[in-house]
Chains A and B, each alone.
Chain A
Amino acid sequence: MSSTPSSLSHPLAPELPPSGAGEPILELERLYHRWKGPKPPVLDDVSLTLRAGEVTWIGGRNGVGKTTLLRLAAGILLPQRGSVRMGELTPLARGGRYQRQIGFLSAGDRGLQARMRVRQQLDYWARLAYVPRAGRAALVAESMRQFELEEFAERRVDRMSMGQRQRVRLAMAFLHGPRVLLLDEPRNSLDDDGYRLLNAQIEQAAAHGATVLWCSPRGEDRVIACDASYTLQDGRLEPGA
């Protein structure tokens, strides 16, 4: 995937210049995080660079800190030590300039407004992501097409199956054309069709110069082709699956 020469033409995020394939986009440096209580740090001096056009996979046992690492990268958590940077931007950048570049999928099935319809849900997210009004409806329609959600457009989310909900959550992560995609157990509840759609979107995003970080437990089938893989263990990130 990294061999595809590409540059990202990003309509929403003029803050950063387009990235050529292989150029660093997101840099996590010497991250340290420790949860309350007499436990060792879940992340200890973890560094990782995510590059344009690349897909990176991180595996590890349950509870080893993969979700914490993703949340730090997304700016949901702030580092107790170390730094998270995207060029000049950090998660504390004013006006959400950092978050405009991030597409985040949390593990599990949370984060949806249960009684909203799929189209409403995606439109709501597009507005929170500051997608300009001019192209918003088209982007919402396109994201429904990408994850084959058109037939559910007017269905309430709480009346959908888990796999269908996961597609809505994925559509939200990809909708605003983020430069960095952070996916926590994205295969959760997806059937083969859903998995095919997800892979297609990941390939397309990478081909356009985005970077993708996929985290999942070691036991989960890892079918996706990736450019780099790591295992998180004892607070450290080691190369290799």
Chain B
Amino acid sequence: MRQWSEAMLAIMRRDAILFVSYRTQVVSQFLGPLFTIAVFYYISRLLTAKTFHSPGGYFGFVIVGLVIIQILTLSLGLMPGSVRQELISGTIERFLVSAHGPVNGILGTMLFPLCNALLAGVVTLAFANLIFGLPLAATSLLAIPVALLGVVAFMPFALFLVALVMAFKQIASASQFIVSGIAIVGGLYFPVTLLPGWIRWMSDVQPFTPATDLLRHLLVGAALVHPAGIELLKLVGFSLVLLPAGLALLAAAIRYGQRSGTIAEY
């Protein structure tokens, strides 16, 4: 177990070294959201919709959505691309011939993007609070464990996408499509009550909606549709069902590639 965790940390450290070695990438990742926040801050000034009691209500609502989009983009959206890069550069071969193994290795490659995404989310909230005056609720610190649970619940989606990369090599457009779809049915930019009835059911069958609702409640004091306990149970349930399924799918995709020989292709 100790060697397993040391190997996981080694992969995370590797990815951190690679990330900071591109300095402009670090700067743009943390400063980029500032402009997005500014755009939505001024859009929120225009809103007179009854759904929100004030322009500030929408600003708080959408900021949490933006943070989640940011986490999804940096983890779910970029993961397939980074695993594909490992295929191209041949570094995935290191996982295949190591005691750590390919499934653990790929799982390890998710750690830095997820931590980086959480950090970027915190920076975005800090900008919104310090520069644009977004009031954060007293329960904000409780958002940290909920965000971590949310990340665990999101992880299987990244595993599904990576399994597709291992099998089909190139799925960049699919991951963007999925992130955009989640933004709509997860209520990241607008309340899911605005969706037409025929698609609204999709907001109940994935973990993004309960995670978003809980985080909005804890960070900006938004009212919950369902009790917090139910939302938490949903997140735990999705994690328990989807995570083993994601790992099994990834293992099967790797096994298929090893048997057919396509594991060495890119």
Please say whether chains A and B are actual partners in one complex. yes
Measuring CB to CB, which residues of chain A are less than 8 angstroms from any residue of chain B? 33, 35-36, 68, 71, 74-78, 80, 95-97, 99-100, 102, 104, 106, 108, 110-116, 120, 123-125, 127-130, 132-133, 172
Instruction: From known contacts A78-B255, A115-B18, infer whether A130 and B93 are also in contact, taking CB-CB under 8 Å.
Output: no
Q: Is B101 an interface residue (CB 8 A)?
A: yes
Contacting residues, chain B, for A120 (C-beta < 8 A): 14, 17
Contact among A75, A97, A127 for B97, CB-based, below 8 A: A75
Instruction: From known contacts A116-B17, A130-B99, infer whether A78 and B258 are also in contact, taking CB-CB under 8 Å.
Output: yes
Q: Which residue of B lies closest to A79 (CB)?
A: B259
Q: B97, A133: Cβ atoms under 8 Å?
A: no
Contacting residues, chain B, for A74 (C-beta < 8 A): 96-97
User: Which of B2-10, B64-72, B114-122, B186-194 lies at the binding interface?
Assistant: B2-10
Q: Is B28 an interface residue (CB 8 A)?
A: no
A62 to B3, CA, bound (A): 39
Contacting residues, chain A, for B99 (C-beta < 8 A): 95-97, 99-100, 128-130
Q: Which residue of B lies closest to A110 (CB)?
A: B90
Contact among A96, A125, A133 for B94, CB-based, below 8 A: A125
Q: B91, A111: Cβ atoms under 8 Å?
A: yes
Give the bracket for the number of chain B residues in contact with chain A.
Answer: 20 to 34
Q: A128, B7: Cβ atoms under 8 Å?
A: yes
A72 to B177, CA, bound (A): 37
A73 to B264, CA, bound (A): 14
Contacting residues, chain B, for A116 (C-beta < 8 A): 14, 17-18
- Among B9, B97, B263, B264: residue with most chain A CB under 10 A: B97
Contact among A111, A124, A125 for B89, CB-based, below 8 A: A111
Contacting residues, chain A, for B90 (C-beta < 8 A): 106, 108, 110-111
Contact among A80, A108, A124, A129 for B259, CB-based, below 8 A: A80
Return A26 CB to nearest CB of chain B, in Å.
14
Return B85 CB to nearest CB of chain A, in Å.
11
